[in-house]
Structure 1
Amino acid sequence: MIDLKPSINFWHDLKSNQIAGLWLFLGSRRSLEIVHPSIFQLIFWGAIAAGVNTLFSWMVAGQAGHFNSQGLVSYALWPFIALIVGIFLSQRTNNPRLMLVPALLWLVLDASILLIQCLLQYLGDQGYLDFLPDRIYNTLPNLFLILFVWQSLAVIWVFSRQLKWPWWERGLIMFATICTLVVWQMSVKEQPIWKVDDVQPTLSEDALYAQGDLLNKALEQVQFGDFSQTHWYFLGVAGDSYDSVFSSEIQRIKSQFDTRFGTFGRSVELVNDPNTRTTLPIASRTSIQQALNRIGQQMNKESDVLFLYMASHGEPNHFELENAPIDLKQIDPKWLREALDKSGIRWRVIVVSSCYSGSFVPALQSDNTLVITASAADRSSFGCNNEADYTYFGRAFFDQAMREKSSLKDAFGDAKATVSRWETAQGFESSEPQWSLGKNMELMLPQLEKHLFPSPNNLPANNPAMLPTTASP
């Protein structure tokens, strides 16, 4: 039997019910010995739980959007079910005061857990949790989802033990509860309490008509190579428009090559970024092929070399091109190799920065090619953060190592070690950047590098590497 304590006063009952909620979290029947049910306590905790859930939903939405009453109604389903369970139990045990207990305990525990979620969300938004490895920080939503399931199961567990239900009845009710929770969770994602309406991406008329001219102008300015000396040509590709780090990185690296490595007049940047659609040509398979063809036409194929740098998200054998609402074809290793071969470019330095970019190495490697990737074929790369100017590999290789070293091999070795230190400090699995050098390129590269790197006398002094901002692939 369940012997409920009489109500004393509002504040005493409030404290007792909060403690009862903590015992419920532990699955202890002591929660039934401490709880003080009353209609005022139910209303109060119902208001607190609804308010905290609304606050958390607002924080998750980025403090934007609008209140969604349907989301609140969906949330209220669970205390309502708990109230029905209480009515059933009160009739079954002939104890009318038991009617409010399941709903009251559920609301107390839910409000307490959500308050912790709100605190963690605030700390995360303010950057106070940046020290946590991403794999731990990203598990927090799943952890709290488990706690949400447990708070419902805990009510059943405590009452079934106290009332000595048979094992099959406990199991059946818990199974039904879990099934209901799964169905509810699948539907509630579309109806949060604080909702941000999806804004469909658009392509302005100005951008639509500007793109043809932008690509033509970018290709027309590519100069002929002087047959009396070796020149480097640069082509940069920023694949994804929804992460601005790729756009920022490509533009910064192109500027670095133009001013430091002498590619001014021999460089092209293709960028997918909503902010540059009227100023820079977009990155697509068509524009990449045309840029490669133009560079191949203008360069001296015997002595000039192409430096191709591509940065985006990726999957195995897949480099992502995205610029919604434009439907872009994706890049795979076979297509990229065929595009390079069509261009007639002989000497190639290809750097692919994306997750699983090592999967591009087998198709791209040749006797006349150096292939560098930011990760192994089965590894992720890191640093894809809208608040960052470079990805991890981009910063380590271009912004640091290539400013300090006088050979690509030394720069790659230095960048690989730097990225490894950053990943270890952040708790990431090592991305394992790759290096594949063809036998002809191995002989030719030292001669080509003399025309790429400034004189060692002009190199800046080494600076200690700074740990970059935490980010995900």
Structure 2
Amino acid sequence: MIDLKPSINFWHDLKSNQIAGLWLFLGSRKCLKIVHPSIFQLLFWGVVAAGVNTLYSWMVAGQTGAFNPQGLVSYALWPFIALIVGIFLSQRMNNTRLMLVPAILWLVLDSNVLLLQCFLQYLGDHDYLNFLPDDVYNFLPTLFMIFFVWQSLAVIWVFSRELKWPWWERALIMFATICTLVVWQMSVKEQPIWKVSDLPPTISEDVFYAQNDLLKKSLDAVQLGDFSQTHWYFLGVAGDSYDAVFSSEIQRIKSQFDTRFGTFGRSVQLVNDPDTGTKIPMASQTSIQLALNRIGQQMNRDTDVLFLYMTSHGLENHFELENAPIDLKQIDPNWLRSALDKSGIKWRVIVISACYSGSFIPALQSDNTLVITASAADRSSFGCNSQADYTYFGRAFFDQAMREKMSLHDAFIDAQATVTKWETAQGFEPSEPQWSLGKNMELMLPQLEKHLFPVANTIIPITNNVASTDAIQP
């Protein structure tokens, strides 16, 4: 016989029911000795559970979309079933107060599980879980699905043990519950509480017809180098359209190079961003190759230098280009090296900001090249967040170090230390930015930098002690 505790007052019952829910999670019959059922507790936990589930659905939807009442009705099926089970048990045991217990216990446990899930979703949305191995991170949704199944089975488990049901009855009810869960999941997966309409991405007619003129105008504006002096040329590539940080970063860095480093009239930006489709040419293999070819034609190849900056998401040997619905070819190290070689550009400073960008170094390094990457070949980089103006590396290297230091090497050392400090503070595995300097570029770079930092170099001599074509971590 289940001996339920009488209701004392709302707050005392609330505390007891919270503890009972935690015991239920452990599958302990102790929850039945702690729970204090009442209609007010049922209503309170029902509102809390509905609110937390709505919050989680809103977060998963990216804080966009519209409230979907059908999703909330679908969710309410489970506490309703628990209430029916309670009615059945109360009649079977001739104990009317037992009627609310299954529903209250289920709602308490569901509210707590969903609060934890909301917290982890918040951490994931703000890149605070990037320190987790990919397998662990990807398993989290499955783990919480297991929790959802268990909270229903746990109610049956504790009651069946307390009431000493025969094993076959326990197995039959649990099997029926699992089948109901599967059918329910298949039926309502398209009906979340917060629903985002799945509209296919589109390219407007204005963007479609503007792109050819934008690219031609941008490339035609690249000025011919003065053969009497050294010039720096800048090419910036923002690869992904779905994270605005890459577009913002390229536009800010191009402006910085044009105003501070004298590349005005010798700079090109290629950006994948739905907001710039009628203003800036898109980034693709074709536009990158054409931009490199144009710069190679206009520069003095013996004395001028290209600064190529590419920022996007990435995988090993993969720099992502995305501008839906266009099916863009992706960038791999060998293609990029081939594109640079075809352009005829001799002196190259290449900076790549993406996860696993260090994997590009072996293909890109040469005697005449400096390669800098935001991460090692087996590491992620961080800060790819649409609310940010720069990635971690972009801010540390361009927005901070390049404004203060008077050589690329000093700027890299400073940015490397800054990024490591930020990542350590966030609990991330350090990305380990890389530096690879060719032997000819080692000799040439101090002379080239005099034209990148013209004022500072008249006062402060530039020295560079790095003498290796291998990727190193100074």
Q: Which residue is equivalent to 2:190?
A: 190
CA 45–262 in structure 1, closer or farther in 2 if over 3 Å, else same: closer
How far apart, in 1, do the equivalents of 2:365 and 2:183 lie?
49
Contact 1:59 1:121 (C-alpha < 8 Å) held by counterparts = no
Describe the superposition over 1:94-149 as per-residue Cα deviations: whole angstroms up to 9, x where unpaired.
7776555323321233245546767x599x59x9x97966548x798777656434
Q: Summarize the Cα distance change of 1:245–1:166 in structure 2 as closer, same or farther, 3 Å threshold.
A: same
| Aligned counterparts of 1:11 and 1:348: Cα–Cα separation in 2 | 69
Q: Which residue number in structure 2 is paired with residue 414 of structure 1?
A: 414
The equivalent of 1:468 in structure 2 is: none
Q: CA deviation at 1:248?
A: 1.1
- CA distance 1:54–1:351, change in 2 (3 Å): closer
In 2, Cα distance between equivalents of 1:294 and 1:332:
21
Does the CA contact (< 8 Å) of 2:14 and 2:41 recur in 1?
yes
- 2:377 — aligned with what? 377
Alignment partner, residue 294 of structure 2: 294
Identify if the C-alpha distance between structure 1 residues 142 and 458 changes in structure 2 by more than 3 Å, giving closer, same or farther: farther
Instruction: Please give the alpha-carbon distance, in whole angstroms, between the structure 1 residues aligned to 2:327 and 2:449.
Output: 39
SS class of match (1:237) = strand
Structure 2, unaligned stretches of length 5 or more?
461-474
Residue 41 and residue 373 in structure 1: after superposition, are their counterparts in 2 closer, same or farther (change >3 A)?
closer
- Tell me if 1:389 matches 2:389: yes
Could you say which residue in structure 1 is the equivalent of 2:362? 362
Please report how far the alpha carbon of residue 304 of structure 1 lies from its aligned counterpart in structure 2 after TM superposition.
1.1
For the Cα contact (< 8 Å) 2:126–2:385, is it kept in 1?
no
Deviation at 1:265, TM superposition (A): 1.1
Q: Distance in 1 between matches of 2:414 and 2:41?
A: 63
Aligned residue for 1:464? none
2:469 matched residue in structure 1: none
Query: Given that residues 127 and 382 in structure 2 are in contact (C-alpha distance below 8 angstroms), is that contact kept between their aligned partners in structure 1?
Result: no
- 8 Å CA contact 1:60–1:121 kept in 2: the answer is no
CA contact (8 A) 2:83 2:100 kept: yes
**Which moved further from structure 2: 195-204 or 89-98?**
89-98
Note closer, same or farther for the CA distance 1:391–1:40 as it changes in structure 2 (3 Å cut): closer
CA deviation after TM superposition for structure 1 residue 82, in Å: 3.3
SS of equivalent to 2:202: coil
Matches within 5 A, 1:239-250: 239-250=239-250
Q: Which residue of 2 aligns with 1:277?
A: 277
2: distance between equivalents of 1:198 and 1:152?
31
- Of stretches 45-54 and 337-346 in structure 1, the one that deviates more from structure 2 is 45-54
Q: Distance in 1 between matches of 2:399 and 2:437?
A: 22
**1:238-273 Cα deviation digits (max 9, x unpaired):** 111111111111111111111121211111111111
Q: Distance in 2 between matches of 1:170 and 1:447?
A: 81
Please list the CA deviations of residues 207-239 of structure 1 after superposition, one character each: whole Å capped at 9, or x if unmatched: 111111111111111111122111111111011
Q: What amino acid is aligned across from residue 446 of structure 2 in structure 1?
A: P
In structure 2, C-alpha distance between the alignment counterparts of 1:325 and 1:131, rounded to whole Å: 26
Q: Is 1:219 equivalent to 2:234 in the alignment?
A: no
For residue 291 of structure 1, give the secondary structure of its aligned residue in structure 2. Answer: helix
Distance of 1:363 and 1:106 partners within structure 2:
57
The 3 A distance-change label for structure 1 pair 188 and 386 is same
Alpha-carbon offset, residue 13 of structure 1? 7.0
- Cα distance 1:426–1:8, how it changes in 2: closer, same or farther (>3 A)? closer
In the TM superposition, residue 385 of structure 1 has moved relative to its aligned partner by: 1.5
Cα deviation 1:55-93 (Å, max 9, x = unaligned): 543455466433323322432332344356556756876
Partner of 2:106: 106
State the one-letter code of the partner of 1:416: Q
Checking the alignment, whether the CA contact within 8 Å between 1:403 and 1:459 is kept in structure 2 is: no
Shift of 1:456: 2.4
- Look up the match of 2:467: none
- What is residue 315 of structure 1 aligned with on the other side? 315
1:326 & 1:459 partners in 2: Cα distance? 50
Give how far 1:164 is off.
4.0
The 1-side partners of 2:11 and 2:371 are apart by 70
| Structure 1, gaps ≥5 residues long | 461-473
Residue 417 of structure 1 and its aligned partner are, at CA, apart by 1.2
Q: Distance in 2 between matches of 1:397 and 1:67?
A: 42
- Pairs within 5 Å for 1:156-171: 156-164=156-164
Structure-1 residue corresponding to 2:335: 335
Say if 1:250 and 1:187 are closer, same or farther in 2 by CA, change over 3 A. Answer: farther
SS at match of 1:228: coil
Q: How far does the alpha carbon of each residue in 1:437-472 deviate from its partner, in whole angstroms, 9 at most, with x for none?
A: 112222222221122113327899xxxxxxxxxxxx
State percent identity of aligned pairs: 82
Aligned residue type for 2:154: A
Check if 1:79 corresponds to 2:82. Answer: no
Corresponding letter in the other structure for 2:210: A
**Hey, what's the Cα distance between the residues in 1 that align with 2:127 and 2:317?**
32
Q: Secondary structure at the match of 1:455?
A: helix
Distance 1:159 1:68, change over 3 A: same
- Cα separation, 2, equivalents of 1:294 and 1:131: 38
What letter corresponds to residue 342 of structure 2 in structure 1?
A: K
AA of the residue aligned to 2:271:
V
| 8 Å CA contact 1:232, 1:452 repeated in 2 | yes
Q: Which moved more, 1:252-261 or 1:2-11?
A: 2-11
The alignment's TM-score, normalised by the length of structure 2, stands at 0.83
- Matched AA of 1:324: A
Mapped to 1, the partners of 2:340 and 2:311 lie a distance apart of 17
- 1:202-217 matches, cutoff 5 A: 202-217=202-217
- Provide the aligned length of Structure 1 versus Structure 2: 456
- 2:69 is matched with 69
Shift of 1:2: 2.7
1:346 is the counterpart of 2:337 = no
- SS at 2:79's partner residue? helix
Deviation at 1:37, TM superposition (A): 5.2
Structure 2 residue aligned with 1:450: 450
Q: Secondary structure at the match of 1:274?
A: coil
Partner of 1:470: none
**CA pair 355-44 structure 1, distance change in 2 beyond 3 A:** closer
Q: 1:323 to 1:163 in 2, by over 3 A?
A: same
Where do residues 6-45 of structure 1 align in structure 2 (5 Å cutoff)? 17=17, 20-35=20-35, 45=45
